[in-house]
Amino acid sequence: MKSWYAVHTHAHGEQRALVNLERQGFSPWLPVYRKQRRHAGKVEQVLRPLFPRYLFVSLDLEAQRWRAILSTFGVAGLVGRADGPVPVPDAVMDALQERASADGTFLLDRTSLLKTGDPVRIDDGPMRDLEGIFQAANDADRVIVLLSLMGRDVRVTVPSDQIERA
């Protein structure tokens, strides 16, 4: 019977392990999310692993030669005990796969983890490096932040992708 198992990879080796496991006939899954990256004055979307250094593989321990996974390039090992790998509960894998979009990526909202009163820092734009207090999400793309400017508290609206937890 097939179950999902967590594969521990080498640092930044998730893609390498994924490709090599697929070449060997295994069924791996690497959950990823889109991250906005600023580099050399350009802003681009890149895919990053949802769980750095981990991916999942579906296999039947009785029918497949699973020990080949241990010698796969990019793989550090399987998560488990001394007597073998431990399966990831089906409920956990089902919940993860339900939350993934049609193309297999996860949509992470930077503001979904923020609560009113949390300290934040603006990391881009004209108010870069100013710290304030998160007030609320204004809409899907903007948030309200309380900044202390010139001796008074001022509510400003900034793009949600320009703030991070302080």
Domains, the chain, ordered by start: 3-106 (3.30.70.940), 119-165 (2.30.30.30)
SS3 68: helix
Cα separation values, 92 from 3, 33, 49, 87, 127, Å: 12, 18, 17, 11, 41
pLDDT in tens, 35-78: 777 778 787 888 899 999 999 999 999 999 999 999 999 999 99
Range of lowest pLDDT (11-15, 94-98, 104-108): 104-108
Q: Higher pLDDT residue, 94 or 161?
A: 94
27-31, long-range: CB within 8 Å, 24+ apart, which pairs?
A: 27/57, 27/58, 27/59, 28/55, 28/56, 28/57, 28/58, 29/4, 29/55, 29/56, 29/57, 29/58, 29/97, 29/104, 30/55, 30/56, 31/55, 31/56, 31/96, 31/100, 31/104, 31/106
- Whether pLDDT at 111 is above 80: no
Range of lowest pLDDT (19-23, 39-43, 106-110): 106-110
Q: Are 27 and 58 in contact (CB under 8 A)?
A: yes
Q: Are 111 and 137 in contact (CB under 8 A)?
A: yes
pTM above 0.85, yes or no: no
Q: Higher pLDDT residue, 112 or 87?
A: 87
Reported confidence tier of residue 126, pLDDT bands at 50, 70, 90: confident
pLDDT of the residue at 141: 74
- Whether pLDDT at 107 is above 90: no
pLDDT of the residue at 92: 94
In the block, residue with structure tokens 């007030």:
135
